[in-house]
Amino acid sequence: MAKEVTLTSALRTNLLSLQGTQKLLDQTQLRLATGKKVNSALDNANSFFASQSLTNRANDLSRLLDGIGQGIQTIKAADQGITTMTAFLEQMQAVAQEALDQANAAGGAPADVTSLQDSYDELISQLDSVAPDAGYRGTNLLADGSLSVTFNEDGSSSLTVTGVDFTSAGDLDISAADFSSATAAQAALDEISDALDLARATARSLGTNLNIMQTREDFTQNLINTLKEGSDKLVLADNNEEGAKLLALQTQQQLGITSLSLASQAQQSVLSLF
């Protein structure tokens, strides 16, 4: 039958103290290792779950931030397309103006009517080749595409950009070259003028939408940083403080071991009397 070992009150007190010190040492070492003072709900349920909620929202916004960034790139691609098309329209305007000037001087068809019409039609062909190439990741705002970007988690804040059909047969409504007379050349100039007005108005609209998205992108990024900072304040440990605690606890542990040794020696002194 096993005999029960009896500890003196002093030994028991010192052992309990050492156990408590070791528990605090383990906790402090974990905090230094993870950098967190709250590693689970057992440490501090309120702080743990509040931090988790803030982190989850920051992660949700990060995914939306990616969508905003891609929306910005889609608009930029369309804007670059409009810039190129505007340059072609201005070249077409110059050709039509030259045809009008020659027609007025000749009192009929321009002297270089064939050359001018060929140049004009080639510019129309180049113009029509731009819109199909102005897409980004499958969305083309110059080919009747549309873009919808969500700014918050529940979708209550968003922006939708409706595209256009920027081809000569579409919204630009530009006819093939006909410089057979001054009247025909003037009609071509009027078409180009209307197309330029539409292109510039569309560019302004895209610019406004781009500014909105960039502003929301900055806001969302700053909000994510705020949420992460708030989450960290709830759970992150102060490494300087925890380091000081570790040194103090190690000293306390050494003192406890010394105290336990002294209590044991005192018990042995009593036994030497028998």
Q: Model-level pTM?
A: 0.75
Q: Cα separations (Å) of 228 from 61, 176, 236, 264?
A: 11, 59, 11, 52
If residue 158 lies in a helix (H) or strand (E), which one and from where to where? strand 158-162
Strands (E), the chain: 146-150, 158-162
pLDDT of the residue at 273: 47
Chain length of the chain: 274
Q: How far apart are CA 43 and CA 30, in angstroms?
A: 12
Domain ranges (residues) in the chain: 55-230
Rounded to a whole number of angstroms, the distance between the first and last alpha carbons of the chain is: 25
Tokens of 240: 């300087």
Q: Return d(Cα 99, Cα 192) in angstroms, integer.
A: 14
Q: From CA 64, how far away is CA 217, in angstroms rounded?
A: 9
Q: How far apart are CA 122 and CA 274, in angstroms?
A: 120
Fold classification of 55-230 (topology level): f41 fragment of flagellin, N-terminal domain (1.20.1330)
- Encoded amino acid at 158, one letter: S
Task: Note whether 189 and 93 are within 8 A (CB).
Answer: yes
274/88 Cα distance (integer angstroms) = 114
Q: Which tokens in the block code for residue 119?
A: 């140049």
Q: How does pLDDT run along the chain (274 residues), one tens digit per residue?
A: 455 555 566 667 766 766 766 676 666 666 666 667 777 787 788 888 998 999 999 999 999 999 999 999 999 999 999 999 999 999 999 999 999 999 998 888 888 999 999 999 999 999 999 999 999 999 999 999 999 999 999 989 999 999 999 999 999 999 999 999 999 999 999 999 999 999 999 999 999 999 999 999 999 999 999 999 998 888 766 567 656 676 676 777 676 667 667 666 655 555 454 5
Residue 233, pLDDT score: 84
